[in-house]
Amino acid sequence: MSNFFPRWANWVPLKLLLIAAVLTTVLTLGVWYYFTPKYTRVGYMPDQPAPFSHALHAEQLGMDCRYCHSFVEVSGHSNIPDTQTCMACHSQIKSTSPKLAAVKASWESGLPIQWVRIHKAPDYVYFNHAAHVNRGVSCFSCHGQINDMATVWQAEPQSMAWCLECHRAPEKFLRPQSEVFNLNWHAASPAAQLAMGTQFKKEWNINPPLTCGGCHR
């Protein structure tokens, strides 16, 4: 009795399995990259109600980060400056500039400016700003060279893997406490950074948590 199916049909199941394996691998790699914070968040730069330039205020004028983000050393959350903070300067400086329209409208109405948030940890993640900046972790480590940004954008993915890079080796990022808010400060060399960071890690008894409960509380 002759076979109902031709001889070449014997290879069809194997070929289908091979195609399925290749497609699964490609799909997995695609999701792995395109659905990660490194792809979805880095570079995010939304339009804001008022065009605030860190390059002008922080770099050119030399304003300290803490003038606007005044709670960063004492609070778990770094505050966005309120309208009163803006108007402390701009009631006298550039007070008629059309770029300040949203700020002046907020000042007159008493309603807050609707800034678009850029950096935000998920609700299931605990992050304390004060705990980091008071132990030698600079704004630069998480926000990049923000003092050069005319418009703020997200420079780092701030994913769990990215956070763990610092928690596993904090000596690579620690700097003198006096230089935490100096965004232009860098160690003389990677070797100097490692030596200095290792010393600070020991002196300040820095031992970042690596277990899930450290950040997922």
Q: Give residue limits of the domains in the chain.
A: 9-39, 41-80+115-214
Q: What is the pLDDT of residues 188-215, one digit of tens each?
A: 999 999 999 999 999 999 999 999 999 9
Q: What is the pLDDT of residues 8-66, one digit of tens each?
A: 777 778 878 888 888 888 888 777 666 666 667 899 999 999 999 999 999 999 999 99
45 in the Ramachandran plot: left (φ > 0), alpha (ψ -120 to 50) or beta? beta
Structure pTM?
A: 0.80
Where b means 16+ CB within 10 Å and e means fewer, 107-136 reads beeeeebeeeeeeeeeeeeebebeebbebb
Length of the chain: 217
**Who wins on pLDDT, 152 or 18?**
152
Residue 106: φ, ψ to 5°: -65, -40
d(CA 77, CA 69): 10
d(CA 170, CA 201): 7
